[in-house]
Structure 1
Amino acid sequence: MTTADLTWNTALLYPAPDSAELEADLGSFDALAADFRERYFEKIAQLQPSSLLEAVREYEALQVRMAKPFCYAHLLFAADSSNETTLSLSQRCSELGSRLSQQLLFFDLELMNLDDAPFQALCSLPQAAPYVHFLNGIRKFRPYTLKENEERLLTRKNLTGVSAFTRLFDELSASLRYSMELDGQVREFTGEELLSLLHHHDPDVRFRAMTTFLEKHGQNGIVFNAVFNNMALDHGQEMELRGYSSPIQPTNIGNEIPDEAVEHLMAVTEANYGLAQEYFRLKAGLLGMEKIRNCDIYAPLAESRKSYEFDEARDLVVASYGAYDAEFGRIVADFFTERRVDVMPRPGKSGGAFAMGISPQTPPFLLLNFTGTLRDLATIAHEAGHGLHFVLSQKQNMLNYHAPLPLAETASVFGEMLLTRRLLDSESDPLLRKSLLCAKIEDIIATTFRQTVLTRFELRLHTERSKGLLTNDRVSRIWLEENEKLFGNAVEMIPAYSWGWSYISHFIHSRFYCYSYTFAELLVLALFQNYCEKGESFKPGYRSLLESGGALSPTETARLAGIDITAGDFWQKGYDFLGGLIQELKAVL
């Protein structure tokens, strides 16, 4: 593939950031929102059910129109946050989005406060069936919603509050440059390139890579501390205004999962931390170390230092999906043939990886930072699964397009399982098979145990911030204490790891998102066990799960694939599966 083939073609959305097409769309929204407000403001309660439904459809159409240019601006910003044109467009969209939210806010509020009789009359219309879950979702927040003027003030305040601090975090993170000696030469690295060295065979390189990365964040600790403190303070004040009982409660309501169920999920996970510690001790033996450090967790085994060219990695992922379902394989391949993927790390580009689903009418895009490791191979499968999910859920309307957070990781984690199975089935080298088995165990640990650590840290951060400003030393102490619970005496944390909290964007972009990874991983382990047992008969239910998008609750969606997440021992079954993998590794050793 050429260099151009490795960057995404955003011209599929708009020809350029200064194009007439983009300007026409952005320039139309204020008038469209004002017209919608003029026709429906303070009139929702007087409308007949059929007219109410028409208003919902108009609202949906507005959401579709706005999604494309706003997502386009985000893609450009993610690809190069140092570009002045991109920065200007991103800021313009941020400010425009705030204005539009203020104009359209009344609609949710009036639907929320509609009397039960007319609300039920609307939901009873046969044509309203595709919107019922969305409408009920709005009503869930009824006890915590303020009057329209107050809601508009909060939305306006966010532009110079939460949104401004989020933007500061993103721009600072993307601007950081790192210098480190490697192979006898001092080189400049992006953050993603440095983190990829945690898969290096030399333990000194792994230590210096993690230390260099985290110490650079420490050098900017004043800014990161200000961002985290202010984000937590802002959230806490808003929760107090709305009457929530805990900082995680609004996330759980949105996810349609009771607080008690989330707590149970995390408690079961913490009760199984011993499995992770058992594996860490095994890994130390495999690496010839008395005790591993946290920079050694993803180290390759001495016998296998395989790296992947991107073409090879892409073909393996496409083949993994295609072996499960030919159409799935074609959908994943289209991301690459249509250049809807940005592949390589570079200065100014956002770190990590993501998939962006725009609307049911617009194709999704993927961002990667590929450096050739086995973990990067798994990341392609992961983000391709997100992309597949977005394509299949295009059967839904815009208001039901995005899956709820607990199910948002289902297709991505299932895709990783498909890749692992293909690699294990096609690999005859026992040493490489051992490496693959370790990689899968490490992946499950990272997406269950580590995510619970992150969620516990986030909860403590918000709880303690409500009592006063948190110093960097205090934030770091909370961070290390939660990690100590997972690592026990099996893993030594390096000194720079006290800054490990400072680069995790989920804390900034998607509050309390992390437990969704745990939810999804354990759900997928159950789904994959069903697939192995049932074969072809499993596939229709799983496809229905992905196609449902956000049209059902997590419990109802899981039932489409034959899974009951309310069963008392459901979460433990996933850890029993992990325990089996560890025993299998012991047998190989």
Structure 2
Amino acid sequence: MTLTQPLPLRDTEARIGGIPAGEALPEWDLRDLYARPDDPKLLGDLDAAEASARAFEGSYSGKLASLSGDALEAALREYERIEEVLGRVMSYAQLLFSGDAQNADNGRFYQTMQERVTVIGSHLLFFTLELNRLDDTLLEGRIASSAALARWRPWLRDLRVFRPHQLSDEAEKLLHEKEVTGRSAWNRLFDETIAHMRVSVAREGKAEELTVSAALNLLSNPHRATREAAAAGISKAFGENVRLFSLITNTLAKDKEIIDGWRNYPRPGTSRNRANMVEDEVVDALVSAVVESFPRLSHRYYAMKAKWLGLDRMKHWDRNAPLPGDVDRSIPWSDAREQVLAAYHAFSPDLAALGRDFFEKPWIDAALRPGKASGAFAHPTVPSAHPYLLVNYHGKARDVMTLAHELGHGVHQRLAAKQGYLMSGTPLTLAETASVFGEMLTFRAMLNAETDPARRRLMLASKVEDMLNTVVRQIAFYRFETLLHDERRQGELSSDRIAEIWMQVQRESLGPAFDFTPDYGVYWSYIPHFIHTPFYVYAYAFGDCLVNALYGVYQDGQVPNFEAKYLDLLRAGGTLRHKELLAPFGLDASDPRFWKRGLDVIAGFIDELEAAPGRADG
């Protein structure tokens, strides 16, 4: 079954609390999906989808091999139609829950919808399993005989990637139906625990009780004492819950090991790579390239930053500290909107027009409130509706970058929607392309508009930190997951052992400029990627390096009609693989030099900063 999912929450811990006084931030209106949880239309859609799913099973189960090409195409269209109805329901439930996970009614509704949709989906499950059992020659013959069916070739191609890992129909149905009491239930427990947690932060003689998101925001506060107090509060809060988070992590890792074993995946990350339509070897090349570059990237930059901060060695709460002289000016929401849209418009008026709809219609939730999901994401929902964006806007420059990032996802999803529900979704590795490109467009526009040399250096340093967070930090996360899952195969890991693995990858990735205190060992436990989308995190580094290379081609002006080719890349959705998408730009992600080219962009920014030592403070 193919349910549309939001892109994983972006790690946006580096924030400062507060928004411009008196400014109202937008909140989304989900009525384009459904009016309310008990909307008769929602209940009617579910009933109709169940009836259609049962009829679909009765009409086609066990009969696909005998269908003509045109008849098989008709079955595919009906399958997509039913799936899109279920996708609309689950999109609404997910967004409602993300908007306020503290609301018990939202949690119950989300779970109830998952259970109902899972039951309906059990009647559709046979379809993809039976398609994959069709002989290659027979399927090719059906495609050759039907121009309509040929349109579905990309979806059928991607489906058959999982053919070697497919289980019996009975086993697949069992796994499908148990999902709501398995991984999904553990995900919900994690989300609700985080949403209800409060972090006590002692400031100016008083203890404030903050949400996890608000406490993490303080790690970029200009005052070191405030950052240290926030770090202590976060460590204490997560330390008190670490047994629960360790249980969730161990259980999900074992669950994955069992399923991977049944499906004959050679290693824990392979199933994610298959879903991303990228070869294990390409991911290995990316990871190796980044790890080898730790000294020339993060180690070198953070050594410079320690000197700028006047420290011999930094603590973990100094990693996202503002640089001396960096007065992160408060940026009103209206200014952020226009800055992002102007940057998009300078590249492509068509792209900007698609983006403006998000601001003129209630498609963005930027307000700050308890219970709301931290970080940011873009949810594509379904092609018959439109995407929704969730951000937590604190009025800072990095929030503008996050807005540009998520808007990139949004316009990408709108352009790809023309491919239909089953083929509009892109692999996660390519899903970051438009978001990171939009972020780069916005950064370059803001940098070019800044005339003060000192301010430009500070902006450049901030961009380097964001890129290190996207590339180095995410590859460190990936190594943490790999080491954890590998070791979990030998038995359950204690919270102390998980902390040791976490500290190991942090030391190797961030370098000798840091003196990590033991309480940092619990910080792995707040990161949702490990729970919701195991082994996803390398996709951020993949996307960043890919866009660095792509943006370099754009700047060089060597590719004619770059804008049109770029929009075609976005419109392709999931119909093309990374080699096909990058070929018009002369790029190839399977070439080891590709990753070096992307990493060289970050190194070049650091070179620029290093050329004026001691000048980051203006």
Once residues 250 and 488 of structure 1 are traced to their aligned partners in structure 2, the CA distance between those partners, rounded to angstroms, is 31
Corresponding residue SS for 1:400: coil
CA 561–24 in structure 1, closer or farther in 2 if over 3 Å, else same = farther
Q: In the alignment, is the contact (CA less than 8 A) between 2:88 and 2:381 conserved in 1?
A: yes
Structure 2 counterpart of 1:326: 349
Once residues 231 and 72 of structure 1 are traced to their aligned partners in structure 2, the CA distance between those partners, rounded to angstroms, is 26
Once residues 336 and 232 of structure 2 are traced to their aligned partners in structure 1, the CA distance between those partners, rounded to angstroms, is 29
Report the Cα offset of residue 205 of structure 1.
1.2
The one of 358, 370, 380 equivalent to 1:335 is 358
Q: In the alignment, is the contact (CA less than 8 A) between 1:304 and 1:431 conserved in 2?
A: no
Q: How does 1:102-113 map to 2 (within 5 A)?
A: 102-113=122-133
Structure 1 counterpart of 2:473: 450
Structure 1 counterpart of 2:279: 258
Q: In the alignment, is the contact (CA less than 8 A) between 2:203 and 2:229 conserved in 1?
A: no
- Please list every run of 5 or more consecutive structure 2 residues that lacks an aligned counterpart in the other structure: 1-19
Report the Cα offset of residue 374 of structure 1.
2.2
Q: How does 1:388-407 map to 2 (within 5 A)?
A: 388-407=411-430
The one of 157, 166, 175 equivalent to 2:196 is 175
**1:526 counterpart letter in structure 2:** A
CA 182–372 in structure 1, closer or farther in 2 if over 3 Å, else same = farther
Once residues 5 and 478 of structure 1 are traced to their aligned partners in structure 2, the CA distance between those partners, rounded to angstroms, is 40
Structure 1 counterpart of 2:254: 233
Once residues 447 and 263 of structure 1 are traced to their aligned partners in structure 2, the CA distance between those partners, rounded to angstroms, is 17
Report the Cα offset of residue 185 of structure 1.
4.3
Once residues 203 and 159 of structure 2 are traced to their aligned partners in structure 1, the CA distance between those partners, rounded to angstroms, is 54
Q: In the alignment, is the contact (CA less than 8 A) between 2:285 and 2:592 conserved in 1?
A: no
**1:557 counterpart letter in structure 2:** L
The one of 184, 193, 207 equivalent to 1:163 is 184
Q: For structure 1, which segment, 186-195 or 261-270, has the greater mean C-alpha deviation from structure 2 after superposition?
A: 186-195
Equivalent pairs, count:
589
- Asked whether 1:65 is paired with 2:89, we answer no
Q: In the alignment, is the contact (CA less than 8 A) between 2:298 and 2:511 conserved in 1?
A: no
Once residues 76 and 352 of structure 2 are traced to their aligned partners in structure 1, the CA distance between those partners, rounded to angstroms, is 35
Structure 2 counterpart of 1:44: 64
- Asked whether 1:79 is paired with 2:115, we answer no
Structure 2 counterpart of 1:213: 234
**1:500 counterpart letter in structure 2:** Y
Report the Cα offset of residue 211 of structure 1.
2.7
Deviations 1:488-546 (A, max 9, x none): 21222233211111111111111211111111110000111111111873211111111
Corresponding residue SS for 1:502: helix
- Please list every run of 5 or more consecutive structure 1 residues that lacks an aligned counterpart in the other structure: none
Deviations 1:269-305 (A, max 9, x none): 1000002100001111221222222221221122122
Structure 1 counterpart of 2:166: 145
Report the Cα offset of residue 379 of structure 1.
0.8
Q: In the alignment, is the contact (CA less than 8 A) between 1:541 and 1:562 conserved in 2?
A: no
Once residues 358 and 206 of structure 2 are traced to their aligned partners in structure 1, the CA distance between those partners, rounded to angstroms, is 37
Q: In the alignment, is the contact (CA less than 8 A) between 1:542 and 1:560 conserved in 2?
A: no
Once residues 120 and 222 of structure 1 are traced to their aligned partners in structure 2, the CA distance between those partners, rounded to angstroms, is 53
**2:312 counterpart letter in structure 1:** E
Q: In the alignment, is the contact (CA less than 8 A) between 2:345 and 2:352 conserved in 1?
A: yes
Q: In the alignment, is the contact (CA less than 8 A) between 1:544 and 1:561 conserved in 2?
A: no
CA-atom RMSD in angstroms? 1.7
Superposed structure 1 runs of 4+ greater than 6 Å apart: 1-4
**1:287 counterpart letter in structure 2:** L
**1:11 counterpart letter in structure 2:** R
Structure 2 counterpart of 1:565: 589
Q: In the alignment, is the contact (CA less than 8 A) between 1:544 and 1:560 conserved in 2?
A: no
Report the Cα offset of residue 330 of structure 1.
2.1
Q: TM-score, normalised by structure 2?
A: 0.92
Deviations 1:27-86 (A, max 9, x none): 322222111111111111111111111111111111211111210111100001122332
Deviations 1:92-140 (A, max 9, x none): 1110122133221110100000012221123333222331111011111
- Asked whether 1:128 is paired with 2:128, we answer no
The one of 378, 384, 405 equivalent to 1:382 is 405
Deviations 1:427-456 (A, max 9, x none): 112222111101111111111111111111
The one of 291, 300, 304 equivalent to 2:322 is 300
Once residues 437 and 120 of structure 2 are traced to their aligned partners in structure 1, the CA distance between those partners, rounded to angstroms, is 37
Structure 1 counterpart of 2:519: 496
Corresponding residue SS for 2:207: strand
**1:394 counterpart letter in structure 2:** A
Q: In the alignment, is the contact (CA less than 8 A) between 1:525 and 1:574 conserved in 2?
A: yes
Once residues 23 and 133 of structure 2 are traced to their aligned partners in structure 1, the CA distance between those partners, rounded to angstroms, is 54
Q: For structure 1, which segment, 524-533 or 369-378, has the greater mean C-alpha deviation from structure 2 after superposition?
A: 369-378
Q: How does 1:457-468 map to 2 (within 5 A)?
A: 457-468=480-491
Q: For structure 1, which segment, 473-482 or 492-501, has the greater mean C-alpha deviation from structure 2 after superposition?
A: 492-501
Percentage of identical aligned residues: 37
Q: In the alignment, is the contact (CA less than 8 A) between 1:386 and 1:412 conserved in 2?
A: yes
- Asked whether 1:200 is paired with 2:257, we answer no
Q: In the alignment, is the contact (CA less than 8 A) between 1:192 and 1:345 conserved in 2?
A: no
Once residues 82 and 227 of structure 1 are traced to their aligned partners in structure 2, the CA distance between those partners, rounded to angstroms, is 19
Structure 2 counterpart of 1:359: 382
Deviations 1:324-358 (A, max 9, x none): 11222222221121011111232111111100001
Once residues 476 and 502 of structure 2 are traced to their aligned partners in structure 1, the CA distance between those partners, rounded to angstroms, is 9
**1:304 counterpart letter in structure 2:** D
Corresponding residue SS for 2:382: coil
**2:534 counterpart letter in structure 1:** R
Corresponding residue SS for 1:141: helix
Once residues 368 and 550 of structure 1 are traced to their aligned partners in structure 2, the CA distance between those partners, rounded to angstroms, is 25
- Asked whether 1:282 is paired with 2:304, we answer yes
Deviations 1:438-486 (A, max 9, x none): 1111111111111111111111111111111111011111111111111
Structure 2 counterpart of 1:93: 113
**1:296 counterpart letter in structure 2:** D
Once residues 314 and 24 of structure 2 are traced to their aligned partners in structure 1, the CA distance between those partners, rounded to angstroms, is 41
Structure with bigger RCO (C-alpha 8 Å, 6+ apart): 2
The one of 556, 567, 572 equivalent to 1:543 is 567
Q: In the alignment, is the contact (CA less than 8 A) between 1:190 and 1:345 conserved in 2?
A: no
Q: In the alignment, is the contact (CA less than 8 A) between 1:401 and 1:549 conserved in 2?
A: yes
Once residues 61 and 543 of structure 2 are traced to their aligned partners in structure 1, the CA distance between those partners, rounded to angstroms, is 40
Q: For structure 1, which segment, 223-232 or 257-266, has the greater mean C-alpha deviation from structure 2 after superposition?
A: 257-266
